[in-house]
Amino acid sequence: MTDLPDIATVIEHALLRPGMTPQEIAEGCEIADRYGFPVVCVYPSAVRQCVELLHQRRCQVCAVIGFPLGATTSSVKLYEAMEAVENGAKELDVVIHWGWLKGGETQAVYDEIAQIVNDTGQTVKAILEMSQLTPEEQKLAVEICLDAGVHYLKTGSGWFGGATVEQVEFLRKMTQQQVGIKASGGIKTLEQAHALLRAGATRLGTSRGVELVQQQEEINA
């Protein structure tokens, strides 16, 4: 396993369970800081709280935009993204409008994500929802997002199934390491995590980061 990074260094600690309280968000930030996770991923309403709690810590705050369906209007997504950045978010996980993609509205998909990339000036990860796209639609989504200047491609929101090795391998082949790859959803075991990393993932979105670290510690003990 020497070819793989310390698992904690690639985990984006997801605090996205519906109905999470401010206290639970605070506990999640404390956990992320304690275990050395590079990112907490939260809804926009929690950004300011997390930024204040993690001030001068290594952990950055990522906001999900248009989450989880991607079907809000482009102006709403842009406002949501800009407000998250104003509140201190350094990364944005933006759900593309995959209904438009499936309907052939490719220019609209491009314009939306490109404007968020250009206007926010922060790290943007495009959530593709690959499980809901045909292979041809997946290819088109990748091409659009690369042209728009995104920094990462993310397999999905986690609401429509978990990340797979096949999805990550496809993204690695398509991107040729031009951008990062975030695998997200259903990552419960260290074995799964390692398989996704070997396939080409550079970040892992999961709420089970502590369990993964503990599994790693057991192996290394």
Q: Active-site positions?
A: 93, 154, 182
Write out the DSSP string of 73-99: -HHHHHHHHHHHHHTT--EEEEE--HH
CA 75 to chain centre: 21
CA distance 198 to 129: 21
Write out the DSSP string of 123-162: EEEEE--GGGS-HHHHHHHHHHHHHHT-SEEE---SBTB-
DSSP secondary-structure letter at 164? -
CA distance 19 to 153: 27
Question: The tokens of 15 are what?
Answer: 């605090």
* Cβ contacts of 131 within 8 Å, gap of 6 or more: 156, 160, 161, 167
